[in-house]
Structure 1
C-alpha cells in the first residue's frame, strides 16, 4: 500500500485518510485507486477491524477527478473513447466495487469540499458526518462529463430522485446544512469536532459483536435490491448463524449480569 492513502488502526477502528492534499485528494490517479482499494480489502480481510472512518488530508475531502489531467488528456483521460472507457473500468470504478464488497461498516468524515467523484466517494460509505465547512457537488456537468463512478446509482438512493436530478443536472454545490436537510449526511458538526464525532460514533458501533456488524450491513445492502420475502429468507438464515455464536451468548450474559460485554468474534 502506497502513501496515497494512510491506513491507521487503533484497537478495532481503522482510519483511512486520502493523502494527496496538493490535488485536494483527487481520486483518478491510479496510485490513489490502488491504495484505497488495497486499504478496503485489507480491512475486509482483518477480523479485528470492526469500523472504518474515511477522511481527507488537508482542507478537502476529495475534489474527485483531476481536472488538470482532463485538460491535458493524461492518465485516466488519455486515449480514444474506447481507451477512456477501459481506463474508468480498470481505474476509479474499482473503488465503488470494493465498497460494494465491504462488510465492515464505514463512516465518511467529510472535512471539506466533496466534489464530483469525491461526493460519490462519501456516498459509498454507510454513514456520513460533515464538518460545517463541507460542500457537496455532483459537479460532472460543469466540466462536460457524466457521473462515471456510480453516482447515478448512489445519489438517488441517498436523497431521492428529484433532489438527485437537481444536483446532477445543475452541478450546483450544496452546503453541509442543506446536505443534512436532504438526508445526504447524518449530522453536521464544527470542523474542529469532526474526527472526534466520527470516532465516537465508530466506537459505539465497534462495541457490538463484529460478525453481527458485518452481517447486519450485508443484510441492509442486499435488502436494497430484494423483495421482502427474499429479504426475510436471508434474515432467517443470518439469524440462524447469529443465535449460535459465542458473542450472542456473551451479549445475553452481560445483559443479565449488568456488565459490559466482551466480544471475541466467535
Structure 2
C-alpha cells in the first residue's frame, strides 16, 4: 500500500484515494506527486483499465500545497532558480501526467478542494461533488500564484471571468455554486458520492475502450488546436476505429438486436 495514494482495482475500474486525512491530503511535502506518477504509469500500462475514480479520504479532497513545506521557500534562503526547478520536477509533473492519461478520470470531490487541490480536480475529465464539497483557487491568499497549471485549466472549464474572480479573490465557493458555474457536472448527497462515481465509471467501462481513449484524446486536443487540425486527427482515429473488432461487434450487436460484448 502506498504511503499517500491507495490504488484499488475492481475489474475495469481503478479507484485512487488520497489517504493522508489528518493533513487534509496535501500534494506537497510528501510523496504524493511521485505516487501519482507511478499510479498513472501503472494505469497506462494496464490495458484492462477503462476508467479511474480519484477521491480523498477524510473530510477533504485535497488541501493543495502543504503550507508548512512552503516555509523553506518563504525564508529567502533558497535561490529562485532552485525553486523553479522544484516546481518543474515536482508538482508540475502532475498536470502533464494526469491531463494526458488516456483513460477517463472522474474526480469524486468529497470535501474541500483548495488551491492545488482544486487544480487537481480540474486535471480530471469529469468532476462530481458531494454536497459538502467546497472549492477555492486560494493561492493569492498566500501571496503566490497557481504554479501547477491552474491558470490554464480553470478558464477552460468555467470561463475567463469566473476563473479570474476565483483566482483574484481567493474566495471559496460551495458545491451548488460550483455546479452553477459548470465546475462540476453534478452534486450528490455525501453518502452517495462514490456510488455515483462508480455508476459513471461503469457506464464508461461498458463501451469499447479504444473508442473512449481516442475520444478523450480528441477532447483534450480540441482545447487548444484548430478545427482543421482536429478534423485531420478525427479522420485518422476514425480509420483506426473502423478496423477494430469492437466496432465490428457493436455493428453486429445492433443489427442482431443483442447486447454487445467488448473485449478491447
- TM interval, shorter chain, is over 0.9
Once the two structures are TM-superposed, the CA of residue 13 in structure 1 deviates from its matched residue by 0.4
Deviations 1:119-149, CA, capped at 9 Å, x for gaps: 0000000000000000000000011110000
Is 1:203 matched with 2:178? no
Structure 1 unpaired stretches of 5+: none
C-alpha separation in 1, matches of 2:242 and 2:132: 44
Aligned match of 2:28: 28
- SS, match of residue 64 in structure 1: coil
Structure 1 runs of 4+ with >3 Å offset: none
Deviations 1:158-201, CA, capped at 9 Å, x for gaps: 00000000000000000000000000000000000000000000
Question: In structure 2, do the counterparts of structure 1 residues 254 and 113 end up closer, same or farther at CA, with 3 Å as the change threshold?
Answer: same
Stretch of structure 1 that moved more, 133-142 or 251-260: 251-260
Alignment of 1:23-102 (within 5 A): 23-70=23-70, 72-73=71-72, 79-102=78-101
Deviations 1:77-125, CA, capped at 9 Å, x for gaps: 9722221111111111110010132110000000000000000000000
C-alpha separation in 1, matches of 2:133 and 2:202: 23
* Count of aligned pairs between the two proteins: 263
Contact 1:12 1:48 in 2 (8 A): yes
- SS, match of residue 65 in structure 1: coil
- SS, match of residue 61 in structure 1: strand
Structure 2 unpaired stretches of 5+: none
Once the two structures are TM-superposed, the CA of residue 255 in structure 1 deviates from its matched residue by 1.4
- SS, match of residue 185 in structure 1: coil
Aligned match of 1:157: 156
Once the two structures are TM-superposed, the CA of residue 259 in structure 1 deviates from its matched residue by 2.1
- SS, match of residue 53 in structure 2: strand
Deviations 1:44-87, CA, capped at 9 Å, x for gaps: 111000000000011100000011222x3179x97222211111
TM-score between both structures, scaled by the size of structure 1: 0.96
- SS, match of residue 174 in structure 1: strand
C-alpha separation in 2, matches of 1:149 and 1:128: 18
Contact 1:78 1:84 in 2 (8 A): no
Aligned match of 2:130: 131
Stretch of structure 1 that moved more, 246-255 or 165-174: 246-255
Question: In structure 2, do the counterparts of structure 1 residues 229 and 86 end up closer, same or farther at CA, with 3 Å as the change threshold?
Answer: same
C-alpha separation in 2, matches of 1:254 and 1:74: 60
CA RMSD of aligned residues (A): 1.5
C-alpha separation in 2, matches of 1:59 and 1:99: 23
Aligned match of 1:187: 186
C-alpha separation in 2, matches of 1:127 and 1:104: 12
Deviations 1:11-48, CA, capped at 9 Å, x for gaps: 00000011111210000134111111111111111100
C-alpha separation in 1, matches of 2:58 and 2:241: 41
Once the two structures are TM-superposed, the CA of residue 2 in structure 1 deviates from its matched residue by 2.7
C-alpha separation in 2, matches of 1:29 and 1:247: 44
C-alpha separation in 2, matches of 1:264 and 1:29: 41
